Structure 1
Amino acid sequence: MVRDDGKRNFALREGDGSESSVFSGNTPRQAALKAARRIDPASSESDADRTKLRLREKGTDKVHVYEGWAWEEEPPENSPDWLEDQDAITEANVSKQGIKHLDEE
Protein backbone atom coordinates (compact mmCIF):
# COMPACT_ATOMS: atom_id res chain seq x y z
CA MET A 1 0.00 0.00 0.00
CA VAL A 2 1.29 3.45 -0.92
CA ARG A 3 1.37 6.05 1.85
CA ASP A 4 0.30 9.65 1.35
CA ASP A 5 3.94 10.68 0.87
CA GLY A 6 4.40 8.10 -1.94
CA LYS A 7 6.53 5.71 0.10
CA ARG A 8 5.80 2.00 0.39
CA ASN A 9 6.63 -0.33 3.27
CA PHE A 10 8.62 -3.53 2.77
CA ALA A 11 9.03 -6.24 5.41
CA LEU A 12 12.34 -8.12 5.54
CA ARG A 13 11.52 -11.84 5.44
CA GLU A 14 13.69 -14.41 7.17
CA GLY A 15 14.20 -17.95 5.85
CA ASP A 16 11.43 -19.30 8.10
CA GLY A 17 8.90 -16.77 6.78
CA SER A 18 8.99 -14.45 9.80
CA GLU A 19 9.30 -10.72 9.16
CA SER A 20 11.87 -9.06 11.38
CA SER A 21 12.05 -5.44 10.18
CA VAL A 22 10.18 -2.97 8.01
CA PHE A 23 11.92 -0.58 5.62
CA SER A 24 10.24 2.16 3.60
CA GLY A 25 11.08 3.71 0.26
CA ASN A 26 9.59 4.99 -2.97
CA THR A 27 10.96 1.91 -4.72
CA PRO A 28 11.79 -1.61 -3.55
CA ARG A 29 15.47 -0.91 -4.28
CA GLN A 30 15.53 1.99 -1.80
CA ALA A 31 14.22 -0.31 0.93
CA ALA A 32 16.69 -3.05 -0.10
CA LEU A 33 19.62 -0.62 0.19
CA LYS A 34 18.50 0.31 3.70
CA ALA A 35 18.29 -3.37 4.62
CA ALA A 36 21.71 -4.09 3.06
CA ARG A 37 23.37 -1.46 5.26
CA ARG A 38 22.46 -3.63 8.25
CA ILE A 39 24.57 -6.50 6.93
CA ASP A 40 27.87 -7.00 8.77
CA PRO A 41 30.23 -4.89 6.61
CA ALA A 42 33.42 -6.21 5.04
CA SER A 43 36.66 -4.22 4.89
CA SER A 44 36.23 -3.56 1.15
CA GLU A 45 33.57 -4.03 -1.53
CA SER A 46 35.53 -6.81 -3.23
CA ASP A 47 35.72 -8.77 0.05
CA ALA A 48 32.02 -8.38 0.89
CA ASP A 49 29.89 -11.50 1.23
CA ARG A 50 26.60 -11.39 -0.65
CA THR A 51 23.41 -12.02 1.29
CA LYS A 52 19.96 -12.84 -0.03
CA LEU A 53 17.39 -10.20 0.96
CA ARG A 54 13.69 -10.96 0.59
CA LEU A 55 11.38 -7.94 1.00
CA ARG A 56 7.61 -8.41 1.01
CA GLU A 57 5.68 -5.35 -0.11
CA LYS A 58 3.11 -4.65 2.61
CA GLY A 59 -0.47 -5.05 1.40
CA THR A 60 0.51 -7.36 -1.46
CA ASP A 61 1.80 -10.89 -1.99
CA LYS A 62 4.91 -9.67 -3.87
CA VAL A 63 8.32 -10.62 -2.50
CA HIS A 64 11.20 -8.66 -4.06
CA VAL A 65 14.39 -10.74 -3.99
CA TYR A 66 17.77 -8.98 -3.90
CA GLU A 67 21.37 -9.93 -3.39
CA GLY A 68 22.95 -7.39 -1.04
CA TRP A 69 26.42 -6.68 0.31
CA ALA A 70 28.01 -4.06 2.57
CA TRP A 71 31.49 -2.72 3.18
CA GLU A 72 33.24 0.02 5.12
CA GLU A 73 34.90 3.10 3.61
CA GLU A 74 36.48 6.26 4.91
CA PRO A 75 34.08 9.22 4.98
CA PRO A 76 34.43 11.52 1.94
CA GLU A 77 36.36 14.76 2.35
CA ASN A 78 33.27 16.90 1.79
CA SER A 79 31.31 15.08 4.52
CA PRO A 80 29.29 17.05 7.09
CA ASP A 81 30.83 18.02 10.44
CA TRP A 82 28.98 15.36 12.43
CA LEU A 83 30.54 12.66 10.22
CA GLU A 84 34.13 13.82 10.68
CA ASP A 85 34.41 11.94 14.01
CA GLN A 86 33.69 8.63 12.28
CA ASP A 87 36.58 6.41 11.22
CA ALA A 88 34.48 4.57 8.65
CA ILE A 89 31.01 4.60 7.13
CA THR A 90 29.01 1.64 5.88
CA GLU A 91 28.27 1.55 2.16
CA ALA A 92 25.95 -0.99 0.53
CA ASN A 93 24.78 -2.18 -2.84
CA VAL A 94 22.06 -4.54 -4.08
CA SER A 95 21.31 -6.50 -7.21
CA LYS A 96 17.72 -7.50 -8.02
CA GLN A 97 17.21 -11.22 -8.53
CA GLY A 98 13.48 -11.11 -9.27
CA ILE A 99 9.98 -10.97 -7.85
CA LYS A 100 8.15 -13.93 -6.34
CA HIS A 101 4.66 -14.24 -4.97
CA LEU A 102 3.87 -15.73 -1.56
CA ASP A 103 1.94 -18.63 -3.13
CA GLU A 104 5.09 -19.59 -5.12
CA GLU A 105 7.36 -19.95 -2.09
Structure 2
Amino acid sequence: MAPDDDDDKRNFALREQNGDEPSVFSGRTPRQAALKAARRLDPAGSEDNADETELRLREKGTKKVHIYQGWAWEETAPNDSPDWMPEEITEANVSKEGIQHLEEI
Protein backbone atom coordinates (compact mmCIF):
# COMPACT_ATOMS: atom_id res chain seq x y z
CA MET A 1 0.00 0.00 0.00
CA ALA A 2 1.48 3.33 -1.05
CA PRO A 3 1.65 6.12 1.57
CA ASP A 4 -0.83 8.31 -0.32
CA ASP A 5 -3.53 5.60 -0.63
CA ASP A 6 -5.54 7.36 2.10
CA ASP A 7 -5.96 10.26 -0.34
CA ASP A 8 -8.33 8.03 -2.33
CA LYS A 9 -10.79 7.95 0.58
CA ARG A 10 -13.92 10.04 0.28
CA ASN A 11 -16.26 11.18 3.03
CA PHE A 12 -19.98 10.42 3.01
CA ALA A 13 -22.44 12.00 5.44
CA LEU A 14 -25.31 9.83 6.67
CA ARG A 15 -28.42 11.90 5.91
CA GLU A 16 -31.61 11.73 7.96
CA GLN A 17 -35.11 12.44 6.59
CA ASN A 18 -35.03 16.00 7.97
CA GLY A 19 -31.71 16.76 6.23
CA ASP A 20 -29.50 16.46 9.32
CA GLU A 21 -26.17 14.73 8.80
CA PRO A 22 -25.17 13.32 12.22
CA SER A 23 -22.42 10.92 11.09
CA VAL A 24 -19.67 10.78 8.49
CA PHE A 25 -18.25 7.55 7.07
CA SER A 26 -15.18 7.33 4.87
CA GLY A 27 -14.40 4.92 2.09
CA ARG A 28 -13.00 4.68 -1.40
CA THR A 29 -16.47 3.91 -2.73
CA PRO A 30 -19.97 4.83 -1.58
CA ARG A 31 -20.66 1.12 -0.97
CA GLN A 32 -17.71 0.85 1.42
CA ALA A 33 -19.07 3.79 3.45
CA ALA A 34 -22.59 2.32 3.34
CA LEU A 35 -21.31 -1.00 4.75
CA LYS A 36 -19.73 0.88 7.65
CA ALA A 37 -23.01 2.71 8.28
CA ALA A 38 -25.00 -0.55 8.07
CA ARG A 39 -22.78 -2.16 10.71
CA ARG A 40 -24.09 0.46 13.16
CA LEU A 41 -27.69 -0.69 12.68
CA ASP A 42 -29.38 -2.78 15.37
CA PRO A 43 -28.31 -6.32 14.38
CA ALA A 44 -30.80 -9.15 13.95
CA GLY A 45 -30.14 -12.68 15.16
CA SER A 46 -29.49 -13.89 11.59
CA GLU A 47 -29.26 -12.44 8.08
CA ASP A 48 -32.62 -14.03 7.18
CA ASN A 49 -34.36 -12.13 10.01
CA ALA A 50 -32.65 -8.77 9.41
CA ASP A 51 -34.84 -5.78 8.57
CA GLU A 52 -33.73 -3.54 5.73
CA THR A 53 -33.19 0.14 6.53
CA GLU A 54 -32.75 2.93 4.01
CA LEU A 55 -29.32 4.57 4.20
CA ARG A 56 -28.81 7.90 2.44
CA LEU A 57 -25.17 8.96 2.11
CA ARG A 58 -24.24 12.36 0.67
CA GLU A 59 -20.78 12.58 -0.75
CA LYS A 60 -19.14 15.54 1.00
CA GLY A 61 -18.45 18.42 -1.35
CA THR A 62 -21.16 17.32 -3.78
CA LYS A 63 -24.94 17.30 -4.08
CA LYS A 64 -25.02 13.54 -4.79
CA VAL A 65 -26.88 11.30 -2.34
CA HIS A 66 -26.25 7.57 -2.69
CA ILE A 67 -29.28 5.56 -1.54
CA TYR A 68 -28.86 2.03 -0.17
CA GLN A 69 -30.93 -0.57 1.64
CA GLY A 70 -28.80 -1.89 4.50
CA TRP A 71 -29.19 -4.66 7.05
CA ALA A 72 -27.10 -6.08 9.88
CA TRP A 73 -27.01 -9.34 11.82
CA GLU A 74 -24.97 -11.05 14.50
CA GLU A 75 -22.66 -13.89 13.65
CA THR A 76 -20.16 -16.00 15.56
CA ALA A 77 -16.59 -14.77 15.09
CA PRO A 78 -14.32 -17.05 13.04
CA ASN A 79 -12.21 -19.63 14.92
CA ASP A 80 -8.98 -17.88 13.91
CA SER A 81 -10.10 -14.46 15.18
CA PRO A 82 -7.73 -12.50 17.45
CA ASP A 83 -8.17 -12.64 21.24
CA TRP A 84 -9.51 -9.10 21.44
CA MET A 85 -12.41 -9.81 19.09
CA PRO A 86 -15.74 -10.60 20.78
CA GLU A 87 -17.37 -14.00 20.20
CA GLU A 88 -20.35 -12.37 18.48
CA ILE A 89 -19.65 -9.87 15.69
CA THR A 90 -21.94 -7.68 13.61
CA GLU A 91 -22.00 -8.39 9.89
CA ALA A 92 -23.75 -6.16 7.36
CA ASN A 93 -24.76 -5.97 3.73
CA VAL A 94 -26.15 -3.26 1.47
CA SER A 95 -27.98 -3.02 -1.83
CA LYS A 96 -27.79 0.14 -3.94
CA GLU A 97 -31.14 1.71 -4.80
CA GLY A 98 -29.89 4.72 -6.77
CA ILE A 99 -28.53 8.25 -6.66
CA GLN A 100 -30.41 11.45 -5.93
CA HIS A 101 -29.14 14.91 -6.81
CA LEU A 102 -29.99 17.58 -4.24
CA GLU A 103 -31.19 21.01 -5.30
CA GLU A 104 -29.37 22.65 -2.41
CA ILE A 105 -27.36 21.63 0.62
TM-score, scaled relative to structure 2: 0.91
Structure 2: tracts of 5 or more residues without a match:
none
Partner of 2:103: 103
Looking at structure 2, the residues matched to 63 and 70 of structure 1 have their Cα atoms a distance apart, in angstroms, of 21
Q: 2:23 aligns with which of 6, 21, 24?
A: 21
Deviations 1:34-54 (A, max 9, x none): 000000000000000000000
Task: Please identify runs of 4+ aligned residues in structure 1 that moved more than 6 A.
Answer: none
Looking at structure 2, the residues matched to 91 and 36 of structure 1 have their Cα atoms a distance apart, in angstroms, of 9
Give the residue type in structure 2 aligned to 1:90.
T
Structure 1: tracts of 5 or more residues without a match:
none
Looking at structure 1, the residues matched to 21 and 31 of structure 2 have their Cα atoms a distance apart, in angstroms, of 18
Partner of 1:89: 89
Matched, 1:49 2:51: yes
Q: How many residues align?
A: 100
Partner of 2:68: 66
Deviation of 1:87 (Å): 2.9
Q: Partner of 2:57: helix, strand, or coil? A: strand
Looking at structure 2, the residues matched to 49 and 103 of structure 1 have their Cα atoms a distance apart, in angstroms, of 30
Matched, 1:31 2:67: no
Cα RMSD of the aligned pairs, angstroms, is 1.5
